[in-house]
Structure 1
C-alpha cells in the first residue's frame, strides 16, 4: 500500500511495510516504523482462525493495509497484513503506545472525534472497537455486515457509525447500540469504496465502483445528489470507453470543508467539487485537474494544499494550491524539498507492482445470464437429437431396401 496523509505538521506516507513521518516545519529526524521488525504475536495467544481466507499470522507479509489519523492530529493508528493494530502518539514526539491484534485483516479504521475509541472494519464484515485510553485492552466486536466492509467513518458528534460494504450498502448505526440501525443510504450499483463526512458538515459523501459520487443526508438516508464522473470529463468519454466505469478510490476535503477532491483508480486526473453548505447542501462540480501520472493517493495539508502521490519514479510527489479559482502546481518549496528528500529512498525500494497493488477489480461482481445459457444448451440438444433421428431414419430406410431386394423371387424364362 502506498498512501499519504498529514498528522498535524507531520507528512505521513506508507511504502509497503514501512510508515514514514517527516516534519514539514522543523528540522527533525524522520520517524520510521517498519512492520517487518515490529513485535510479533506471542504464540500463547495466537488463534487458529483462518476463516478470512488469507495466510496465517506466521506467513503474513507485514504490508501496511490502512492507517488513520485522529481529528486533533496527535494520534495515528495502522494495521498490517500480519494483523497488527499499532497505536502511536505523534506529539510532542513519536511514541509507539501499543501493539494489539485484530481477528481478521482490516480494510479501514477511524478514530472517534473524542479520540477515546478506534473503530476497525475488516474483510469479513465486522467492526471492532479498540479503546484508546486503555491502550492494552483487546478489541470488542461492535457490529457486522453480511459482506466485506470497505470503508468506515463516524458522524461529527460520535453518535453514528457509518459503514459501507461490497454489496452496495451504506449503513448508519448508533454507536452505543449498533444493533439499532438509524438508516440505510441505498442507490449505488456497485461496491461502495469511499466514505467521508466533510468538515463542519452533517452530510455524507460516498464513492463507488459504479463511477459515481453521491451526497447524502445520512440520518434519514435521503440522497441529495449523484454525479457520474464520466459525464464530467472534458472532453466526455469516447463511445468505446462509455462502459468503463471509473472506481472511486478516495474522497478528501480541505480543512474548511469547502473543497472536495475525488480520485479514481487508473485515471490520471482529480475531480474537484465545491460543497455548498447553505440551507440546501449541494455538491457543485468545480474543475478537473489533469495529472502527469495516475494518482495512488492524495491528502490536504493543514493550510488546504493538495498533496498527490503519483505512480512515477521521476516525480512521485506534487503539491497543488487553489489560487484565482483554479488548482495550480506549486513551485518546490523548502518543506516540499524536505519531504521529497526523506521520501525518495523509501520510494525507490518499491517496484511498480507493489505501488499499484490496491486495484479493486476483484470487487466487481460477475453476473451470469442463466436463461440465455439454458436456452442455448437446449437448442444445442434439440439439434443433436434431430441429427440423430435423421441418421436413424436413413439407416432404417437402407435396411428396408436391402431386405426387399434380397427377398424378391427370380423371374421365369
Structure 2
C-alpha cells in the first residue's frame, strides 16, 4: 500500500515491497529497504497432516515514525515487523515476526514500545530496547483491528475495529477498559489525538462521517458528514465515501480529512466555545487527481502523495486562510527524484476498486423479500378467487337458462 511520512529532514514512501527514505535538505542517495530480499523466517517442520505454511507477498502494509523521528517501523504481508534507527543514516536494526498479518502500528510517546494490531483483532507490544524479544499480547478485539493510536501521555491505548467500536484501554493494564466511543455505523478506519486537545479524539469511518470525542468518557462531542464532498466534486456515485485518512497539524490547529477515491481534501479547525466543542469547516483543496495519502510535516505543511508518476508529490502551505501549492519546492524535487525510480502503480487510483470494499458488512433484507412474496401470493389467491366466481356465475346462468327452456317445453 502506498503511503507517505515526513520527519525533520527525511521523507518516506512505501511502495510495493519497498520503503524509501529520501533526505530533502541535501543531495544524497536515498535509503531503500526491500522486503522481498529481507530476512526470511525459518520454516518449522510440518507433520504429514499439517497444512502448508502460508506465504506472503512481501508488500509493505503500513509503517510509522516515532515522535522524535529517530525510529521507523514497518509491517509487511509476510508478517514481518522491521525496526529502523537513524544515527547518521538509516539502518535496519531488527526483524521480528507477527502471529497474524498486521493492519496498523504506532510507537509509544516514550519510544520504548511499538504496538502492532493485526487482522485477528489482537494487539501486540514489541520492545524497542530489547530488539530480540518476541511480541507480548496486550489485548484483543472480537473483530479485525483497523487503527491504533496512543494518548499523548502514554496512559491509554486507543483501538478501533471493523465492528464500529472504538475502545480506550489502559496501556499498562489493557484488561482495564476506560471507555467505549460508540456511534459509527461502519468500520472505523482512522484515529487521531490532536496535540492541541490531548483529551479529544478524531475518528473516521466507512459510514462517511468524522466524529469528535472526549475519549476518556466516551462522550461524542460532534459529528460531520462528508458525503457532500462527492456532491461538491460532481460525483454521482450512490456509495458513501470512506474516510481513509485524518491528519492533524503539529500545533493541532488544523485537521485534514481525505476520503477514498475523492479528489478533495477537507480542512477543519477544532473550536471550543464554553461547553460547545465542535469541528468547524475551514477550507477545501481540490486536487488534479485522487491522492493516495497525506501527512503534515513538522513545519505545518501538508505533503500529498498523488497517484501520478509525473507529479508524485505536492506540498501545500497555509497562506492567508487558504492552502497554496509550493510548486517550486526544492524538497519536493529531491524527494520525487528519489522516489520515481521505485514507483509502481498499485492500482490505487480512483478508477480501480477500493481497498476498503471488503470491510463493508453485507446485509440481507429478508423482511422486504418476505413481504413481496406474500403480496404475490395474496394477488394470486385473489385472482383465482375472482376466476372461480366468474366460472360459478357462468354455470349458474347456464343452469338457469336450461331450467327456463325446460319449463317452456313442458308448458307447450
TM-score normalized with structure 2 length = 0.86
Structure-to-structure mapping, 1:4-403, within 5 angstroms = 4-44=4-44, 56-58=53-55, 60-202=56-198, 203-231=200-228, 233=229, 236=232, 241=237, 243-276=238-271, 281-347=277-343, 349-350=344-345, 352=347, 359-379=355-375
Q: Return the alpha-carbon distance in structure 1 between the equivalents of residues 283 and 249 of structure 2.
A: 15
CA contact (8 A) 2:233 2:264 kept: no
* 1:398 paired residue number: none
Q: Return the alpha-carbon distance in structure 1 between the equivalents of residues 355 and 231 of structure 2.
A: 25
CA contact (8 A) 1:4 1:309 kept: yes
Q: Which moved more, 1:364-373 or 1:140-149?
A: 364-373
| CA shift in 2, pair 1:332/1:192, >3 Å | same
| CA shift in 2, pair 1:78/1:14, >3 Å | same
Output one character per residue of 1:171-201: Cα deviation in whole Å (capped at 9) or x when no partner: 1011111111101111111111100011242
Output one character per residue of 1:268-323: Cα deviation in whole Å (capped at 9) or x when no partner: 01000112467654421100100000010001112111110111232121111111
CA contact (8 A) 1:57 1:83 kept: no
CA contact (8 A) 2:230 2:262 kept: no
SS across alignment from 1:352: coil
- Runs of at least 4 residues of structure 1 off by over 2 A? 44-48, 55-58, 233-241, 275-283, 349-358, 374-394
Q: Return the alpha-carbon distance in structure 1 between the equivalents of residues 69 and 188 of structure 2.
A: 27
Q: How many residues align?
A: 389
CA contact (8 A) 2:243 2:260 kept: yes
Q: Return the alpha-carbon distance in structure 1 between the equivalents of residues 101 and 272 of structure 2.
A: 37
SS across alignment from 1:43: coil
Q: Return the alpha-carbon distance in structure 2 between the equivalents of residues 157 and 186 of structure 1.
A: 23
In structure 1, stretches of 5+ residues that fail to align are 395-413
Q: Return the alpha-carbon distance in structure 1 between the equivalents of residues 345 and 366 of structure 2.
A: 44
CA contact (8 A) 1:309 1:316 kept: yes
